[in-house]
Homo-oligomer: A and B are copies of this chain.
Amino acid sequence: MATTHRENLKSQYPWAQSPLIVCAPMRLIATCPLANAVTRAGGLGFLGAGTDVSTLSEMLKEATTSFQKTPLPKTPDGILPIGVGFICWGADLSVTLSVIEAAPLKPAAAWLFAPQDPKELLCWTEGIRKASNGLTKIWIQVGTVASGSELAKSCKPDVLVTQGADAGGHGLVQSSSIVTLLPECVDDLARGGFGHIPLIATGGIMDGRGVAAALALGASGVCMGTRFLASPEAVISNGYRNAIVQARDGGVTTARTTVYDKVRGTHGWPESYNARGVLNQSFWDSQKGMSEEENAKLYAEAVKMGDEGWGEKGRMTTYAGTGVGLVKRVMPAGEIVQEVLRDSSRRLVAVSSRL
Contact = CB atoms under 8 A, between A and B. Distances in A.
A348 B216 contact: yes
A314 interface: no
A164 B179 contact: yes
A145 B248 contact: yes
A203 interface: yes
Nearest to A255: B174
Nearest to A349: B352
A327 to B, nearest CB: 10
A210 interface: yes
A345 interface: yes
Given A166-B176, A355-B345, A251 B213 contact: no
A183 to B, nearest CB: 5
Interface stretch (A30-38, A99-107, A295-303, A318-326): A318-326
A53 to B, nearest CB: 30
Nearest to A351: B215
Interface in A215-243: 215-218
Q: How many copies does the complex hold?
A: 2
B179 A178 contact: yes
Contacts of A180: 166, 204, 206, 210, 250-251, 321-323, 325-326
A174 B276 CA distance: 12
A238 B215 CA distance: 35
B183 A209 contact: yes
Contacts of A146: 248-249, 252
A57 interface: no
A214 B188 CA distance: 22
A181 interface: yes
A129 to B, nearest CB: 28
B216 A204 contact: no
A179 B323 CA distance: 8
Contacts of A252: 144, 146, 172, 174-175
A335 to B, nearest CB: 19
Nearest to A181: B251
B218 A187 contact: no
A12 interface: no
A26 interface: no
A230 to B, nearest CB: 15
20 contacts: A145-B325, A146-B248, A165-B251, A166-B177, A166-B179, A172-B252, A175-B251, A176-B204, A176-B322, A176-B323, A179-B205, A179-B213, A181-B322, A188-B248, A209-B217, A209-B218, A210-B217, A215-B216, A216-B348, A348-B351
* Minimum-distance CB pairs A-B, first 9: A177-B177, A176-B251, A176-B322, A179-B204, A212-B216, A180-B323, A348-B352, A213-B213, A175-B251
Given A164-B177, A164-B179, A351-B352, 4 more contacts: A172-B252, A180-B210, A183-B210, A209-B217
